[in-house]
Amino acid sequence: MDLPTCPSCGASVLDEDAAECPFCGASMTAKSSSKKPAASSKQPEKPAVAAPSAAGKRNRRETVSDDDPFELERQQQTSKVIQLLRKPVKGKMNRYVCPMCDTPGFASSKVVGKEVKCSNAGCLAPVFLVPDTEAAERKTTEEKKPDPNQKSKLPLIAAIVASVAVIGGVYFYFTTSVPDGSELAKPFDNPIIKNQSKNSMIPDKNKPTVNPLANNGQQTQNTSTDVKQPVSPELVQKTSLESMVELSRSRDNRSKPFSRRLAAEAYAISGDLTGSREQIARIDAVDPHLPFYKLFPLIEIGWLQLQEKDTAGLKKTLDETVELSKKIPEYGGRDTLDLISRLAAFWVAAGNEDAAEELISKHQAENSLAQLSAYLQIAHETNYYDFESLIDLHRRWNAPQSVATTLILISHDYDEAALNWAALAPEAIDRTEAVTQWSLAVLEQAVNQDKKPGIDMIQPAEMKLSATGNALMYARCAFELNALKKPELAKAFLTKSKSFLEKIPVPAPLKLGSLKEIYTMKLPASEPLELASQAYIQIACAEAELGEQTEANRFLKNAVQAIQAMAPSLAAVQDKQNESSNFNFKEQIKDTLNLDSDDRINRAIRDYRKQLNSLKSAAENRSTLLVNLLSQAAKTKLSASVWNLAQQSQQAADENLKDTLLDSSLPATILDASQKNSDLTAQIKKALNDKIPPLQKEDLLVQQTLFLVKNNKPEQAAHEINQSDLKKAWKGQLSLKLLSVLINQSKFEQAIQFVTAIKDQVLREDMLNAIGAIAAVQNKVPEVSEILESNVYTPTERISGYLGLVSGLQIAKSKAPAPEPTQQPAGKL
């Protein structure tokens, strides 16, 4: 059936009984006329638009295109309106959604109460009025208008003076509330957020600033008298769960199954298994159909049943998880990665280790998304949300989900099962990193429990690793123990580390030989050499931190040689490629290989050049590994030694030892790490004539955003992250790290501003989850509850915050508050 058509603008109208066109305001019953229809009374007053010069004639610019019957109406509507931008820019960060096509656009807060144009060029009704949500509140504060029949003008004058005072006060309030005066900060002038400054996480001046995330999640309770009224944890938990269920029904949810999943997890964490099962059933009742989401709350239920030794209930839950695991998407992105480490840990604890191993091997990944997922699952399951110490932006795990599974098992007191699991990794380097993380976690538990972290605690791990792997493990432990102000223990661990390498010869740099040798050359396996280089570099860094510079330089050189043994230098390969282009090379290869026909000679030349191309790729990889290795060392007390090695390699007479490290980002990294060393800085600048290659894009973004955060400009740091073209998952790791920097400095209000300014909605959900958990443990529930109860964030984001709040309440309930330390605690292992 055809829809009614407006006789004036030609638009199709959905409402068959409409008396007026909702697009142009013309009467639906009037005959088509050349005259412009009168504006609808429902629309706000607009400035008068000049009428056409003659009835029935249109200006040439108003000609309606046959392809776009709404062109005239669009031109008339948008002649004096503000164009919304498709992306936020400085000064235009406020988000407004078109009521016609639901397309978001961005502009400054000055467009409130004015007409704007949709950012979607194809929108049928692009002009709409931005509602003024504070109009009603302002109206109640205005003075009552004086009676016009009243002879005296004094009340009118008084009202005018009062209005000017109010406007001036509002202007002063909003202009002075932005710390740095930038337009970028204005979107955060939200009363809900601003009120938190009165009861923020800033401790008393007489008390030291304490890292709220120390002691593996056993954060100290802040007993500040700033909290006016005590809040019942039971009441907060009950209210949070009810709010999650209510918000799950909202149409504005990013994903209703996801919201129901979080609600089911929250009920399970709180111990209400009946409520959790009810929410699990709701996952199937909403679209899209994602049955594997039910695994997340079932895992939480399973851990409770393991703890309570509910054998019958555990068997039922285990069977359910095994059946639902068949529906896990093979390429499910974050959802799949988030699930497999938690599910594998539960299966290992429940005795289903073979299924766990198969699950991880099937879905394991190494990319930035896998790293981000592993960090978040470790935080969620171990209740440790200090991403500042947890996330290492310059070192990535080869098997992040396997490492996460290991740490989750330790957090549930399955230490032996965790070690056995870590040792199952098929590759030596994966196995070494998992077992090393196990050792660090075991030592950390001892430190948190005021026990002496001895070598005997991690000796069972020695049987799981090679000699090189053990050297790396003990060196990492030594480095972290020294960071915890335990130098004597660190020296003992370092001595143990070096003992494993006494009988292993240091690899020699690979050198290109004769034409015949190159023709038949096979490169050595790279994995053992890369593992050896990491063991050497860890020892070198630990020696440097302990003040043993000579030993540190020796092992630093060994680390470089291990990388150089993997492939020839790029300079040596390029030299051989140039030789293969000489006019007499055909004769040379003929004589060297004793070839007797042109066909065999030509085939040999092709094979030789193909071999050189393969060697060139390996040489380029060698250069990349060297830059990464030395950049890692430069961030410790080895920056001067790294610079000396880079110079020696650049100036080496032997082409096989020559690596053009000074043309890479390494000098900039050394400068960034040694800003306090003026002599070294001057030496580098002089050697390179101030023509220093820039930092890598990742390091540059870290440098910029960290500077902004430390200078109280979190919203600008978020803006830099939003507009960066780096991978979203890596930016997520950086964002979590910066969030912890703010929270660890007790800058709660700025942390909220930072979260609000982040563009990635899923990341905002993750960060609000962390804030909720931290707030509950720190006894800062009212501040976070007020924000979550407001409409500052989307329903899904608020649900994530409530889940964190419920998790944090369980942490605070199960662990007695520790006495407030008298000094800043050391970082996490």
Q: Does the CA dihedral 404-405-410-416 come out positive or negative?
A: negative
Mean pLDDT, range 561-588, rounded to an integer: 93
Instruction: Give the Cα separation of 167 and 148 in Å (integer).
Output: 23
DSSP 127: E
Amino acid at site 185 = A
pLDDT tier at 689, thresholds 50, 70, 90? confident
Strands of 82-83's sheet in order across: 82-83, 115-117, 127-129
Instruction: Give the Cα separation of 663 and 659 in Å (integer).
Output: 9
The residue to which tokens 């809900």 are assigned: 192
The residue to which tokens 């630093």 are assigned: 556
pLDDT at 13: 67
pLDDT tier at 92, thresholds 50, 70, 90? confident
pLDDT tier at 455, thresholds 50, 70, 90? very high
Instruction: Give the Cα separation of 401 and 341 in Å (integer).
Output: 5
Look at 181-190, 530-539, 586-595 and tell me which has the smallest mean pLDDT.
Answer: 181-190
pLDDT at 644: 94
Instruction: Give the Cα separation of 369 and 89 in Å (integer).
Output: 27
pLDDT at 67: 45
Q: Give the tens place of pLDDT for each residue, 406-441.
A: 999 999 999 999 999 999 998 999 999 999 999 999
Instruction: Give the Cα separation of 84 and 98 in Å (integer).
Output: 10
Q: Give the tens place of pLDDT for each residue, 663-681.
A: 999 999 999 998 888 999 9
Instruction: Give the Cα separation of 774 and 785 in Å (integer).
Output: 12
Mean pLDDT, range 469-493, rounded to an integer: 95
Amino acid at site 478 = A
Establish whether the linkage from the previous residue to 257 is cis, with ω within 30° of 0. Answer: no
pLDDT at 690: 81
Q: Give the tens place of pLDDT for each residue, 299-318.
A: 999 999 999 999 999 999 99
pLDDT at 418: 96
pLDDT at 35: 40
pLDDT at 216: 38
With a cut of 60, say whether residue 443 has pLDDT above it: yes
With a cut of 60, say whether residue 74 has pLDDT above it: no
pLDDT at 229: 61
Average confidence score pLDDT of the chain: 82
Q: β-pairing, 127-129 with 115-117?
A: antiparallel
Instruction: Give the Cα separation of 511 and 813 in Å (integer).
Output: 63
Distance set, CA 557 to CA 506, 541, 563, 645, 646 (Å) = 10, 12, 10, 8, 11
The residue to which tokens 């110079």 are assigned: 647
Instruction: Give the Cα separation of 743 and 749 in Å (integer).
Output: 9
Query: Residue 5: beta bridge partners?
Result: 12
With a cut of 50, say whether residue 226 has pLDDT above it: no
Residues listed for the chain: 829
**26-64 burial by CB neighbour count: b if 16+ within 10 A, else e?**
bbbeeeeeeebbeeeeeeeeeeeeeeeeeeeeeeeeeee
With a cut of 70, say whether residue 218 has pLDDT above it: no
Q: β-pairing, 115-117 with 82-83?
A: parallel
Mean pLDDT, range 776-792, rounded to an integer: 87
**Torsion of the alpha carbons at 19, 20, 21 and 23, rounded to the nearest 10:** -140
With a cut of 60, say whether residue 220 has pLDDT above it: no
Regarding pTM above 0.85, the answer is no
Query: Residue 421: beta bridge partners?
Result: none
pLDDT tier at 212, thresholds 50, 70, 90? very low
What DSSP string describes 626-666? Answer: HHHHHHHHHTTTTHHHHHHHHHHHHT-SSGGG---GGGSSH
Instruction: Give the Cα separation of 456 and 76 in Å (integer).
Output: 82
pLDDT at 14: 65
Look at 53-57, 432-436, 531-535, 766-770 and tell me which has the smallest mean pLDDT.
Answer: 53-57
pLDDT at 10: 64
Residues 6+ positions from 572 with CB-CB distance below 8 Å: 511, 512, 619, 655, 656, 658
With a cut of 60, say whether residue 204 has pLDDT above it: no
Q: Are 402 and 425 in contact (CB under 8 A)?
A: yes
Instruction: Give the Cα separation of 717 and 242 in Å (integer).
Output: 35
- Quick one: tokens of 192? 């809900």
pLDDT at 40: 40
By percentage, how much of the chain surpasses pLDDT 90? 59
Greater confidence, 494 or 70? 494
Q: Using DSSP, state whether 107 is helix, strand or coil.
A: strand
pLDDT tier at 158, thresholds 50, 70, 90? low
Instruction: Give the Cα separation of 239 and 798 in Å (integer).
Output: 13
Mean pLDDT, range 491-504, rounded to an integer: 95
pLDDT at 80: 67
pLDDT at 9: 64
**340-357 burial by CB neighbour count: b if 16+ within 10 A, else e?**
bbbbbbbbbbbebbebbb
Q: Give the tens place of pLDDT for each residue, 4-56.
A: 777 766 666 666 667 777 666 667 765 444 444 444 434 444 444 444 444 43
Mean pLDDT, range 574-585, rounded to an integer: 91
pLDDT at 462: 94
pLDDT at 572: 94
Amino acid at site 362 = K
| Listed ranges 78-87, 189-198, 405-414; the one with the highest mean pLDDT | 405-414
Mean pLDDT, range 64-74, rounded to an integer: 45
Q: List the end-to-end C-alpha distance of the chain, in Å, as a whole number.
A: 70
pLDDT at 111: 82
Instruction: Give the Cα separation of 332 and 601 in Å (integer).
Output: 52
**98-136 burial by CB neighbour count: b if 16+ within 10 A, else e?**
bebeebebbbeeebbeebbbbbbeebebbbbbbeeeeee
Mean pLDDT, range 585-599, rounded to an integer: 90
